[in-house]
């Protein structure tokens, strides 16, 4: 269509900027979602193949399913809205050019509010998973557990409240207005989510270091390689730290991104969309890695390589993140292995030992 006036050019330029930015978010979501679907299938297979015998395992399975639904909704919105805008803004030639956006907003007014919930759901569930891991590792520390539960409850409340308020305002007006109340609630939710993740990750890091020291003390030497459970805990710390860094970048960009349709604004859009999907990718990938590590359940001290020797082999068991809430590995009757259950007591890590019949050795650490 030939543009006879400058006003038409300005309108088309505005439409193009809107569609371009929305398609940028859709492209980022599509790339990460492809990776996420593969990880989700592997994760579900690993979880379903193992006995679902505890409420914690069922809860984790439900959380993974909710993350998948929320992430799929995010992709559908980020792809569907720009496609609908192209049709409404550029193809609907029976409507005057300047009125097409208002008509499109009126037709999609109810659906506009959906775009805020996937981000809230993914960030909240990711934070809850981190807090749950820290909560399990803080057995015996009531004060720490109390703080963890308080922070988790506040994080959940702010995200739900913020999403409900901004959805209500968006549906009323037909589009996001950037009201001061919405901005303040969004900022509070972002910072609280960051603080929740950092607090949970630090708790896990402390326990990981304590467990590494425990392994060294039990073996009476410095281990060159960490034990399997230590590696798993370090993986939890690393994934939590990566997501915290991404959260920090997202929060900072949200504060400095004050002008629409600038390179900084496009970068903010891309990183915000990426953070929403990575909030689902990291817990899923972590479960896969942890399940893989659990195939090597123990770090073993072989006192004699001969299995027929009367001297027994001591095996130190790892923490189990799901099936066995007691964190122990069943005793192998054929090889006569004495299992050590790692438990977390009020004053730190402690080794609960099964005494050997021919020795009076005892290893403990408080």
Enumerate the domain spans of the chain. Answer: 6-293, 298-352
Strands (DSSP E) along the chain, which ranges? Answer: 298-301, 313-317, 337-345, 348-352
Report whether 119 contacts 276 (CB < 8 A).
Answer: yes
Angle between helices 142-173 and 180-219 in degrees, nearest 10: 150
Nearest to 234 by CA among 196, 207, 195: 207
In DSSP terms, which residues pair with 351 in a beta bridge? 342
Share of residues in the chain with pLDDT > 70 (%): 74
Whole-structure pTM value: 0.76
In DSSP terms, which residues pair with 316 in a beta bridge? 299, 340
User: What is the tens place of the pLDDT at every residue in 43-66?
Assistant: 999 999 888 888 888 999 999 999
Please state, rounded to an integer, the average pLDDT across all residues of the chain: 77
Rounded to whole angstroms, the Cα distance separating 358 from 151 reads 49
DSSP class of 348: E
User: What is the per-residue pLDDT for 220?
Assistant: 60
CATH number of 6-293: 1.20.1070
Highest mean pLDDT among 175-184, 266-275, 338-347: 266-275
Residue of 154 and 210 predicted with greater confidence = 154
DSSP class of 318: P
End-to-end Cα distance, the chain: 79
Helix boundaries (H) for the chain: 6-49, 55-86, 100-107, 109-112, 117-137, 142-173, 180-219, 228-256, 263-293
């Amino acid at each position: 269509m030939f543009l006879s006036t400058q006003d038409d050019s300005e309108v088309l330029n505005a439409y193009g900027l809107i569609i371009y930015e929305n398609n940028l978010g859709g492209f980022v979501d599509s790339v990460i979602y492809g990776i996420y679907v593969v990880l989700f299938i592997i994760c579900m297979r690993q979880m379903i193949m193992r006995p679902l015998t505890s409420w914690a395992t069922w809860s984790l399975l439900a959380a993974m399913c909710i993350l998948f639904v929320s992430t799929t909704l995010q992709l559908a919105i980020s792809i569907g809205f720009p496609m609908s805008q192209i049709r409404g803004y550029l193809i609907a030639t029976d409507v005057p050019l300047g009125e097409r956006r208002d008509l499109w907003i009126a037709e999609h007014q109810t659906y506009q509010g959906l775009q805020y919930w996937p981000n809230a759901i993914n960030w909240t569930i990711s934070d809850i998973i981190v807090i749950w891991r820290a909560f399990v590792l803080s057995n015996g520390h009531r004060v720490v557990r109390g703080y963890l539960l308080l922070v988790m409850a506040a994080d959940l409340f702010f995200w739900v409240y913020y999403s409900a308020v901004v959805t209500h305002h968006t549906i009323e007006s037909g589009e996001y207005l950037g009201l001061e109340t919405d901005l303040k609630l969004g900022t509070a939710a972002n910072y609280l989510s960051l603080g929740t993740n950092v607090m949970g990750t630090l708790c896990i890091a402390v326990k990981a270091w304590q467990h590494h020291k425990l392994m060294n003390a039990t073996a009476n030497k410095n281990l060159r390689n960490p034990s399997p459970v230590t590696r798993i805990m370090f993986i939890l710390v690393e994934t939590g730290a990566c997501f915290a860094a991404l959260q920090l970048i997202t929060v900072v960009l949200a504060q400095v991104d004050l002008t629409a349709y600038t390179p900084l604004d496009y970068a903010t859009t891309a990183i915000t969309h990426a953070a929403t999907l990575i909030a689902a990718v990291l817990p899923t990938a972590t479960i896969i890695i942890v399940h893989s590590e659990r195939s090597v359940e123990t770090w073993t001290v072989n006192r004699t390589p001969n299995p027929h020797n009367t001297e027994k082999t001591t095996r130190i068991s790892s923490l189990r993140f799901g099936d066995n809430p007691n964190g122990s590995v069943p005793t192998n009757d054929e090889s006569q292995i004495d299992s050590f259950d790692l438990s977390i007591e009020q004053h730190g890590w402690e080794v609960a030992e099964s005494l050997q019949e021919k020795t009076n050795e005892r290893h403990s650490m408080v």
